[in-house]
Amino acid sequence: MTPTTRRVLAAALPPVLAALPTLLLFLTAGDRLPDMLPVHFTAGGVADRFAEPWVAALVPAGLGAALAVTFGALALAAGRRDTTAPGTGDEGRLLVSGSWALSGFLGPLLLAPVAAVLDRATADGAVLPGWAVPVGLATAALAGVVGHRLAPPTPHAGEGPAPAEPLEVGPTERVSWSRTVVSRTTLLAAGGAALAGAVATGLGAHPAVAAGGLLLGALVAALGTARVTVDRQGLVVALGPLGRPRIKVPVEDVAQAAAAEVSPMRFGGWGYRVVPGGRGVILRAGPGLVVTRRSGQRLTVTVDDADTAAGLLAALAGSPRC
C-alpha cells in the first residue's frame, strides 16, 4: 500500500467511525427509542424539532459519508501536488489530524441526542446531555494527536522554492511594487455566511448569540483582502479594507525572496496562519511570495505577479544601504 493510499484511508475513515456508534444504537435500541427523535436543540439545549427514527439516522450517516469523501479527496489531491511547494507544515498530516480531531468532536455530539431519549416514552422536553460538548472537546484533542502520529508523512523533494533572480535596480532609483489580493470564494464567502447566520439566529433565537456571530462574520470578511507592497523599506502586508493590522519585513531582515505556488492546505486553511517555522497570509491557492527572514522564519503571502515582487525584494535586499 502506497503512502498516498494510506493517507487517504487515514483521512477518510475517522468520520465513518464517528458516525458508527450512533448508527449502531439506532439499529439495536429497538423499542427503547420513542416514535419521534430530536434532530435540533435550542441554544439552551432543549429539543425543539423532531423526526422519525429513520430520518434522524440520516443525519449521522450523511454527515459521516460526506466528511469521509471530502477528507479522502483532499488527502488524495495533497498526495499528487508538488512537494517542493512552500509550506512549513506537513499537508498530509494536517489533513489526517484535522479529520481525526473533527471526527472526535462530532462523535459524542451525534450520539448525545439519541442517548437523551433512550428509554423515554416521548422525546418532548428532551435535553441535550451536559457531557456532550466537554467529552467532544476532550476526544477531539486526543484524536487529533493520534491522527497526527498515524499519518504517513509527505515526502519533501526540497528545502523550498528557489531564490528569485534579482531585478536590475539602480542605487538611487525609486521603485515600488504593489498588488491587492481578495479572497472572494473563501474568507469573504465564509464571512458573509456567518453574517447571514447571525441575522437568522437573532431573529429566531437569542440576540446575544447573533451579536457574536455578527462580530465574527465582519472580522472574517474584513480579513479577506490584503494589500502587498514592496519598496526600499521592505515588505508590507496590510490586511483588511482599513489596512490594519500590518505585517512588515524590513529590507535588512530579508535573507531570501522567492515565488512559488501555494496550497492553503499546507497552512491548515485560509486567512492569517501561524505554523511551525513561519507565518502565512493565505487568501487563495496559487502564486505567492515567500520571504525568508534572517532568523530562518518564513512569511508566505498569496498574491499575483509574485515573481516581480520576489525579484524586486531580492534586488533591494542585496543592494548597498546608506
Domain boundary among the residues 150, 183, 198 is at 150
Q: Is residue 211 part of a domain?
A: no
The residue among 318 and 176 whose pLDDT is bigger is: 176
pLDDT tens, position by position, 53-80? 888 888 899 989 999 999 888 877 766 5
Q: Are residues 165 and 122 in the same domain?
A: no
Q: In this structure, are 138 and 165 located in the same domain?
A: no
Say if 212 falls within a structural domain: no
Tens of pLDDT, residues 138-161: 999 999 888 888 876 554 444 568
274 with 125, same domain: the answer is no
Do 44 and 146 belong to one domain? Answer: yes
Q: How confident is the model at residue 17 (pLDDT cuts 50, 70, 90)?
A: very high
Kindly state whether residue 37 falls inside one of the protein's structural domains.
Answer: yes
User: Would you place residue 204 in the very low, low, confident or very high pLDDT band (cuts 50, 70, 90)?
Assistant: very low
Task: Give the pLDDT confidence score for residue 50 in this predicted structure.
Answer: 86
Look up the domain containing 167 and give its range: 161-174+228-322
Lowest-pLDDT range of 5-9, 104-108, 252-256, 286-290:
5-9
Verify that 101 and 237 share a domain, yes or no.
no
Q: Same structural domain for residues 110 and 236?
A: no
In a domain, 181, yes or no: no
Residue 237 within any structural domain of the chain: yes
- Evaluate whether residue 283 is within a structural domain: yes
Same domain? For 134 and 168 the reply is no
Confidence category of residue 102, pLDDT binned at 50, 70, 90:
very high
Q: Are residues 289 and 321 in the same domain?
A: yes
Q: Using an 8 Å Cβ cutoff, are 217 and 191 in contact?
A: yes
Looking at the chain, the whole-number percentage of residues with pLDDT higher than 90 is 33
Peptide linkage before 245 cis (omega within 30 of 0): yes
Residues 145 and 167 placed together within one structural domain of the fold: no
CA dist., res. 241 & res. 226, Å (int): 8
Q: Both 20 and 127 in a single domain? A: yes
> Does the CA dihedral 192-197-198-200 come out positive or negative?
positive
Query: What is the arithmetic mean of pLDDT over 255-281?
Result: 83
d(CA 88, CA 277): 6
For residues 98 and 168, membership in a common domain is answered with: no
Tell whether 57 and 144 lie within a shared domain: yes
DSSP code at position 190: H
Domains contained in the chain, number: 2
Give yes or no for residue 205 having a pLDDT over 50. no
pTM of the model: 0.53
Final residue in a domain of this structure, among 86, 117, 150: 150
Q: For the chain, percent helix, then strand, then coil, each to nearest 5?
A: 50, 20, 30
The predicted model gives 293-297 an average pLDDT of 91
Average pLDDT (182-193) is: 55
